[in-house]
Amino acid sequence: MSMKSFDKFCERMITAEPGSEKEIFDERQKVMRMRLAIETLLICVCLIFVNGIISEMIIERQWAEYMSTVNLLFAVLCMLWWEIRCAVKGCLVAVSGRIAQKTSAVMSVLIGVLNGLRYAFNIGEDDFLIKDGRLSADFVFLLCCALLIGGGIFMFTAIRREEKREETEKGMKEK
């Protein structure tokens, strides 16, 4: 990180208004997040493309009721992949603005729960899992909602872990 960008970073942290807290990442985190986002988008596009080729040209039969639900499943899986990769590389949690990140994690869990409730009531039906020899849309949507909840919990856990790590470092410095 150059001195000029570090000065701008410090200036933004000091002069920011208390009510307008945003996620602030350092330059290394920004670059790493962008690289991982590009990698994840490439994986998602390849998954969707390969699935389309297999479903349309090779076996000429869809393995799920609707292919849009499968595309949504791939997108949610790629979101989880991105979160895990960012956590491993140390660029998931912002330097400042964790309240905004916690809010997005809670909203992810809340959206997953509220949307999943609609599909959870269909679990007892005969054709909930497989309908006409294909995965049913209700099952795939419920799976997407469960993965969305898992992603929100993972993000909240990663934020809390980072906060605890910083607290222990601060305690070590005071001693």
What would the pLDDT profile of 131-174 be if each residue is shown by its tens digit?
Answer: 888 888 888 999 999 999 999 999 999 999 988 988 888 888 87
Q: Are 158 and 87 in contact (CB under 8 A)?
A: yes
CA atoms of 35 and 15, how far apart (whole Å): 29
- What single-letter amino acid sits at 126? D
CA atoms of 63 and 130, how far apart (whole Å): 10
pTM to 2 decimal places: 0.79
Burial class (CB in 10 A: 0-12, 13-18, 19+), 61: exposed
Which stretch, 49-53, 91-95, 131-135, has highest mean pLDDT?
49-53
Maximum C-alpha span of the chain: 68
CA atoms of 29 and 7, how far apart (whole Å): 16
In sequence order, which residues have a C-beta less than 8 Å from that of residue 158 and are 6 or more positions away? 83, 87, 92, 93
The arithmetic mean of pLDDT across residues 108-114, rounded, is 94
